[in-house]
């Protein structure tokens, strides 16, 4: 198919070059009728230095005809510097053509594109030591034709930030590549490294240095109280260097990272290594959902990573349940009260209290109620059909009086938000009353709710 391709391909009104078309346009008829094929179907001579002849290439011609045939070979005419054309084979039916292309460089660098550099890291950390394929900085010197320039002197250096160049190459290799390892200095912010290649001057690498992400404490995202974390629940990480920016997600399903900040959960003894799903990040705070797969574990190692800055490991206890009621400001008086709504979606507050005498049904929003049926993937929204119900039934008291729990589970169309639908007892005390939720032998902290 390649051998018998035709050359009637144009680009901007002229014959298209081999770099754009290969051998040309498919001719199915010629491909079916030819008695001659040739391998390889195309030839690469590679990049050559000035005055260097290309290495010989071997073509193997196969003839399947029944009578003798005399073949002739002809080569296309190359253009200056960039050499391309085709070896044409004729004499036995269809004309065959083997395209070729090669470039001859002049040995003088014309450009030094960067092939690789680490964009950020922790101040004082190594970005790569340039051993075992581990460079921090990498460039290629090429001439005006794009041919790599080998053996050209290069000099890597530190421009600002107090860093260090490590194991730097002193000249380009056969592919025109030069590499160096680097260590960031103590300064936070942008640090500059550079490489000088002969007449082209310097190429600069901008690398952001930050402090190491450090977790100081972990709290329940609803109550903000310290304690064990539970699978599927939301937690808040407190510390320093946890993100470069302050931002939350605006999607229903939670992402693996926000602004390069991500969180890992590891239980080495159980072979568990999982990411958390992120809701909000700032330099001092990260809110996220804990992977469901941590159920049944006793402890977990948690680490924040921001770009190429790897945080310190924080070990947290894991429990099956960590119940806590979310809090919102009371619309009437201002202090924080339980996050609850009536069945119309109106928020329960001193302006819209829950009605005990009517045994009103309300919806309470919580965190940490443990395993559920039909669990969604971590970070994904829960479904309405089928519902994700808690495997254990919670108990709710308001003013010391038990409420009738109708249903508990994950709120449909939300990610990891627990909900309890409950009916108030007729003898529930009125006024501002303490509400407590217990599940699996663990009780939440008391929160206030307005009752009438």
Q: What is the mean pLDDT of the chain?
A: 92
Task: Report, as an integer, the average pLDDT of 260-266.
Answer: 97
Q: Is 45 a residue whose pLDDT tops 70? A: yes
- The number of residues in the chain equals 452
Closest CA to 191 of 226, 162, 227: 162
For residue range 142-157, what is the model confidence (pLDDT) as tens digits? 988 888 999 999 999 9
> What's the mean pLDDT in 83-98?
86
Cα 333 off chain centre by: 44
Residue 317, beta-bridge partner list: 299
CA nearest neighbour of 402 among 437, 366, 452:
437
pLDDT at 442: 97
Instruction: Give pLDDT, residue 17.
Output: 77
Query: Could you give the CA distance from residue 400 to residue 436 in angstroms, rounded to a whole number?
Result: 8
8 A C-beta contact, residue 235 and residue 290: yes
Whole-number pLDDT of residue 49: 62
- Segment 32-52 shows an average pLDDT of 79
- Give the pLDDT band (50/70/90) at residue 116: very high
Residues 124 and 180: beta-carbon distance below 8 Å: no
Question: Pairing between strand 120-122 and 202-210?
Answer: parallel
Question: Which residue has 């979310």 as its token pair?
Answer: 326
Over residues 343-364, the mean pLDDT reads: 96
Is the pLDDT reported for residue 349 higher than 90? Answer: yes
Residue 115, pLDDT above cutoff 60: yes
> Under a CB-based contact definition with an 8 Å cutoff, are residues 151 and 182 in contact?
no
Report the pLDDT value the prediction gives residue 334, as an integer from 0 to 100. Answer: 82
Average pLDDT over residues 230-239: 98
In this predicted structure, the answer to whether residue 131 has a pLDDT above a threshold of 70 is: yes
Q: Write down the pLDDT at residue 80.
A: 39
**pLDDT band (50, 70, 90) for residue 340:** very high
Reduced to 3 states (helix: H, G, I; strand: E, B; else coil), residue 274 is: strand
What's the CA dihedral at 205, 208, 211, 216 to 10 degrees? Answer: -140
In tens, the pLDDT along 294-320 reads 999 999 999 999 999 999 999 999 999
> Who wins on pLDDT, 78 or 47?
47
* Region of poorest pLDDT, from 59-73, 253-267, 378-392: 59-73
Beta partners for 206? 192
The yes-or-no verdict on residue 92 having pLDDT over 80 is yes
- 53 confidence band (pLDDT: 50, 70, 90): low
Q: What is the DSSP secondary-structure string of 41-105?
A: SSEEEEEE-TTPPPPP---EEEE--SS----EEEEPPP-SSEEEEEEEEESSSSPEEEEEEEEE-
Q: Residue 78: pLDDT above 60?
A: no
Instruction: State mean pLDDT over 169-194.
Output: 96
pLDDT at position 158 is 97
Token couple for 197: 């290649």
14 pLDDT tier (thresholds 50, 70, 90):
confident
Distance of CA 374 to the CA centre of its chain: 27
3-state secondary structure of 225: coil
Q: Please give the order of strands across the beta sheet that includes 96-104.
A: 43-48, 96-104, 82-90, 72-75
Closest by alpha carbon to 306, among 385, 171, 212, 215?
212
Position with higher pLDDT, 86 vs 49: 86
pLDDT band at 18 (very low <50, low <70, confident <90, very high): confident
Counts of helices then strands in the chain (DSSP H, E)? 2, 39
Q: What does the pLDDT read at residue 77?
A: 47
Q: Could you tell me the pLDDT band of residue 79, with boundaries at 50, 70 and 90?
A: very low
CB-CB neighbours of 99 under 10 Å: 23
Look at 267 and 1; give whichever has higher pLDDT. 267
Tens of pLDDT, residues 412-448: 999 999 999 999 999 999 999 999 999 999 999 999 9
Q: Are strands 431-439 and 418-423 parallel, antiparallel or unpaired?
A: unpaired
């Amino acid at each position: 198919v390649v051998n018998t391709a035709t050359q009637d391909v144009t680009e901007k009104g002229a014959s298209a070059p081999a770099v754009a078309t290969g051998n040309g346009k498919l001719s199915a008829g010629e491909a079916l009728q030819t008695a001659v094929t040739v391998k390889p179907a195309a030839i690469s001579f590679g990049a050559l230095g000035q005055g260097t002849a290309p290495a010989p290439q071997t073509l193997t011609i196969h003839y399947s005809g029944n009578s003798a045939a005399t073949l002739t070979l002809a080569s296309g005419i190359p253009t200056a510097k960039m050499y391309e054309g085709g070896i044409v084979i004729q004499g036995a039916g269809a004309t065959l053509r083997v395209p070729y292309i090669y470039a001859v460089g002049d040995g003088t660098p014309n450009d030094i594109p960067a092939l690789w550099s680490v964009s950020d890291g922790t101040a004082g950390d190594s970005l790569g030591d340039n051993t075992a394929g581990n460079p921090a900085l990498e460039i290629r010197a090429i001439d005006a034709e794009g041919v790599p320039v080998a053996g050209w002197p290069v000099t890597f250096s530190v421009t600002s930030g107090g860093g260090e160049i490590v194991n730097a190459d002193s000249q380009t290799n056969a592919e025109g590549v030069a590499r160096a390892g680097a260590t960031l200095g103590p300064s936070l912010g942008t640090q500059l490294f550079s490489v000088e290649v002969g007449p082209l001057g310097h190429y600069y690498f901008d690398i952001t240095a930050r402090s190491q992400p450090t977790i100081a404490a972990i709290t329940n995202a609803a109550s903000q109280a310290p304690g064990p974390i539970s699978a599927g629940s939301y937690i808040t990480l407190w510390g320093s260097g946890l993100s470069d920016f302050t931002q939350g997600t605006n999607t229903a399903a939670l992402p693996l990272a926000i602004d390069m900040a991500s969180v890992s959960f590891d239980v080495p003894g159980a072979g568990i290594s999982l990411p958390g799903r992120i809701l909000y990040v700032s330099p001092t705070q990260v809110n996220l959902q804990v992977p469901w797969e941590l159920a049944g574990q006793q402890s977990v190692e948690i680490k924040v990573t921001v770009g190429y800055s790897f945080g310190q490991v924080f070990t947290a206890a894991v429990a099956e349940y960590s119940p806590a009621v979310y809090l919102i400001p009371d619309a009437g008086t201002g202090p924080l009260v339980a996050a609850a709504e009536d069945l119309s979606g109106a928020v329960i507050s001193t302006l819209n209290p829950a009605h005990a005498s009517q045994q009103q049904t309300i919806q309470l929003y919580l965190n940490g109620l443990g395993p559920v049926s039909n669990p969604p993937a971590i970070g994904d929204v829960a479904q309405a059909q089928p519902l994700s119900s808690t495997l254990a039934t919670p108990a709710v008291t308001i003013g010391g009086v038990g409420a009738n729990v109708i249903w508990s589970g994950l709120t449909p169309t939300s990610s990891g938000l627990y909900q309890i639908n409950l009916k108030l007892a007729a003898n529930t005390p009125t006024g501002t009353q303490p509400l407590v939720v217990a599940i699996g032998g663990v009780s939440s902290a008391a929160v206030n709710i307005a009752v009438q």
